[in-house]
């Protein structure tokens, strides 16, 4: 069991069935913690899913690409270990349903990583208004929806909420609407932290610089790997209950912005 994860019976008391039989006949251990990731189909999300599974978590993989998360769920053990949940995080009903699907499958959620997002070419005369709208809805509203849908499940387990921010959320990049969305996510993470600490939920903002992932059309000249960022995520969730990592701001050592 990952460091700091308390048995479910200690949180819910005597009202918990410690094991249940999965629909396929597999017996699921209800004490094994669950890690839910949005934007899990590639990049940081997929890397985090693999590291979480290696650390002993069951995983709930949420993304629009059903084929990709389906293949990843199979790689991570399939039924009883990992579930693929197709979802558009800009649609409240789908996000709410995704959380319920994970709870129905596993009986609990211990970590939620609101990671879904994408970028845009810099310049206020670049991209289309439609692209901007989709990006703002995904990066900002999608994160807010994910928080709202998961609060009660995380409160029940004394869980951990993480959001993907960015170095771009700390500096104002010329002509970057994407940067503006990540400023919003950073503020949202701190707002969530201040509210949710009273519910026993820890909150962490993960703010990476350049990462060599499908996020970029052209790989930056200096960049971290998605595994580098996933290790930071796992570091945050592995801390004892006396430690809250509020933010991890990280760059490649040679990134100068």
- Could you give the residue numbers annotated as active site? 178
Ordered DSSP codes for 57-123: -EEEEEES-HHHHHHHHHHTTSTTTEEEEE--TTSHHHHHHHHHHHHHHHS---EEEE-------SS
Cβ proximity of 62 and 46 under 8 Å: no
For 40, which DSSP code? T
Ordered DSSP codes for 142-203: HHHHHHHHHHHHHHHHT-EEEEE--GGGTS--TT-HHHHHHHHHHHHHHHHHHHHGGGT-EE
∠ CA 233-237-241, rounded to 5°: 155
């Amino acid at each position: 069991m990952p460091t700091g994860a308390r048995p479910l019976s200690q949180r819910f008391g005597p009202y918990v069935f410690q094991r249940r039989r999965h629909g396929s006949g597999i017996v699921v251990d209800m004490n094994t913690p669950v890690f839910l990731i949005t934007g899990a189909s590639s990049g940081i999300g997929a890397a985090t899913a693999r590291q979480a599974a290696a650390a002993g978590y069951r995983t709930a993989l949420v993304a629009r690409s059903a084929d990709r998360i389906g293949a990843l769920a199979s790689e991570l053990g399939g039924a009883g270990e990992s579930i693929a949940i197709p979802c558009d995080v800009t649609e409240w009903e789908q996000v709410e349903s995704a959380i319920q699907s994970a709870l129905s499958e596993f009986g609990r959620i211990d970590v939620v990583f609101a990671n879904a997002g994408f970028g845009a070419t810099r310049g206020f005369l670049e991209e289309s208004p439609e692209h901007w709208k989709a990006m703002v809805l995904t990066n900002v509203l999608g994160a807010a929806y994910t928080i709202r849908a998961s609060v009660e499940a995380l409160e029940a387990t004394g869980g951990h909420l993480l959001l993907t921010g960015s170095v771009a959320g700390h500096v104002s990049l010329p002509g970057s609407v994407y940067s503006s969305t990540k400023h919003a996510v950073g503020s949202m993470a701190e707002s969530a932290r201040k509210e949710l600490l009273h519910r026993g939920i820890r909150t962490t903002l993960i703010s990476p610089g350049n990462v060599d992932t499908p996020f970029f059309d052209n790989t930056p000249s200096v960049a971290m790997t998605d595994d580098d960022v996933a290790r930071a995520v796992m570091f945050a969730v592995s801390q004892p209950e006396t430690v809250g990592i509020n933010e991890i701001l990280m760059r490649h050592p040679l990134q100068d912005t």
